[in-house]
Amino acid sequence: MSVPITPEAAAAAALLGPEPSGLSVPPGAGPALQPTLFELSRPGRGGGKVAHPPKDALDRIPAAARRVTPPALPEIDEPTVARHYVNLSRLNYSIDTGFYPLGSCTMKYNPKVNEWAARLPGFASLHPFAPDALAQGTLDLLWQLEEALAAISGMEAVTLQPAAGAQGELAGILMVRAYHRARGDLDRTEVVIPDNAHGTNPATASMAGFTTVSIPSAPDGGVDIEAFRSALGPRTAAIMITNPSTLGLFEKRVVELLEMVHAVGALAYMDGANLNAIMGHFRPGDAGFDVMHFNVHKTFGTPHGGGGPGAGPVGVRAALVPFLPSPRVLREADGTFRLEAPGERPSSIGRMRSFVGNTGVLIRAYAYIRAHGGPGLVQVSEDAVLAANYLKHRVAEAYEVPFERPCMHEFIASAAALKRDTGVRTLDVAKRLIDYGHHPPTIYFPHTVEEGMLIEPTETESVETLDAFADALIAIAREAHEAPGLVTSAPTTAPVRRLDEAAAARQPNLRWRPVAGAETPCPE
């Protein structure tokens, strides 16, 4: 059957042709890229307004600490520098310019009121070592946030100290280890992890000194009950379950699984990365989980990734409270707040990071929770689930959807049939989405689905945004049949064409050198 090329595809195809040539536009780059600061540099430009140093300035520096030759810094005027970085920023994709359908990542929009709250002088200017008497407002907020997270999760107590979700996992498993050691149960050296869990789970267990035991998924995407039962025993310290799983499915047998875990004397850890799908409908502590972490950026609208500060609070049930990291925020009988004194709780696993956590990020999470309230958080989860199921229904006409039952806040779509019929792979689909102005979803994760795409729209995206994304995916599937080369050569409209990602990951070239002759911008 002949499949018509969409107008977007025709426009992109018109741009296909010989690679740009010439030193001003390196091979593989589009016109949106600009010269580097070194290429813009001109001798004597940019230094006239800076006061000249004393003539003996260099003599005041020990000879051994002085450079033999001056640093090779570009000489640039201020407007050129400002425009250079602003233009670079316009090449970036951000949550303020478009939505991220990244499954497992839950790239939520960050409400600006949260940023306002975190920048209030009383919070932003507080010194980390300020005495308790001067930090009452911040300590009060942190204590209230702990209480709110405990209520949302059904846990007894919460620590805000871990700096990220992965460190929250480590804190939780270290508490599990401390619990067993305190009981003299030293033979529990294994952690059972289903294959639909997050990849950080086995890494966390290994870092804590445990051996991991992987459990396969059942045909319906849940945990294989019999394999799970056979893996449990006197050596089991804990299980780590991501619920909802990375397949976008809620574990329907979760209560049965936890009963089996507790029957052998082990503890149950829940990876809370997908909490955004279940707030107000499922409390992990009530179901029997003993410990869990929260990804505040995935659930409570704080900034995500980029190498900046994060937060990964951990909630525990009563048995693990003595082992929480220190110091905890304590509320005194008179209503004032203080931090635990060093050594006040000897059973603690100790500090996970400096101070009491990344307070600026936690303030944002607190503002998000207070702005929504209980009913609002329930609505967040319901909207996230609705958006994912709507998008799943839309793309099912063009891609395989391995699991028919309703998904939670994310779902799996597969391009395996497309690859068999046309040679177009999931990677090609992802690259082609860039030409349509969309950020690609998570691809090839989880690894249990061939040519999988893990797609998560979150709750804040409009139906128009979801339709535009679904239309693009459907159009790309049509292009794969009509003109597969158009898809396999994508992106065609981005500033940078397709890179050798494997080589970039294994042999990154991180040093800029000036162009010499016909060489590429980064010659060896």
Gap between the Cα atoms of 152 and 170, Å rounded: 21
pLDDT digits (tens, 9 = 90+) for 469-514: 999 999 999 999 999 999 999 999 888 888 887 888 888 888 777 6
Please tell me the distance from the alpha carbon of residue 236 to that of residue 233, in angstroms, as a whole number: 5
Q: What is the pLDDT of residue 50?
A: 60
DSSP string, 454-484: EE---TT--HHHHHHHHHHHHHHHHHHHH-H
Distances (CA, A) of 116 to 122, 123, 125, 294, 478: 12, 11, 14, 23, 45
Tell me the domains of the chain and their CATH numbers.
Answer: 26-48+75-92 (no CATH), 112-371 (3.40.640.10), 376-496 (3.90.1150.10)
pLDDT by residue (tens digit) across 210-259?
A: 999 999 999 999 999 999 999 999 999 999 999 999 999 999 999 999 99
pLDDT tens for 110-137 read 999 999 999 999 999 999 999 999 999 9
Predicted confidence band of residue 22 (pLDDT cuts 50, 70, 90): very low
- Band the pLDDT of 24: cuts 50, 70, 90: very low
pLDDT in tens, 130-157: 999 999 999 999 999 999 999 999 999 9
Asked whether residue 47 carries a pLDDT value surpassing 70, the answer given is no
Measured CA angle at 444 (ends 442, 445), to 5 deg: 70
pLDDT digits (tens, 9 = 90+) for 82-95: 999 998 888 888 88
Q: 54 falls in which pLDDT band (50, 70, 90)?
A: confident
Is the pLDDT higher at 502 or at 388? 388
Please report where in the chains the tokens 């529990």 appear, as a residue: 188
**27 and 523 Cβ atoms separated by less than 8 Å:** no
Preceding peptide of 26 cis, ω within 30° = no
* Mean pLDDT along residues 417-429: 97
- Using 50, 70 and 90 to split pLDDT, how confident is the model at 305? low
Residue 454 has pLDDT above 50, yes or no: yes
Pairing of strands 211-215, 236-242: unpaired
Question: What per-residue confidence (pLDDT) applies to 52?
Answer: 73
Q: What rounded mean pLDDT belongs to the chain?
A: 89
Q: What is the pLDDT of residue 522?
A: 43
Using the predicted structure, report yes or no on whether residue 26 has a pLDDT greater than 70: no
267 backbone dihedrals φ, ψ, rounded to 5°:
-110, 160
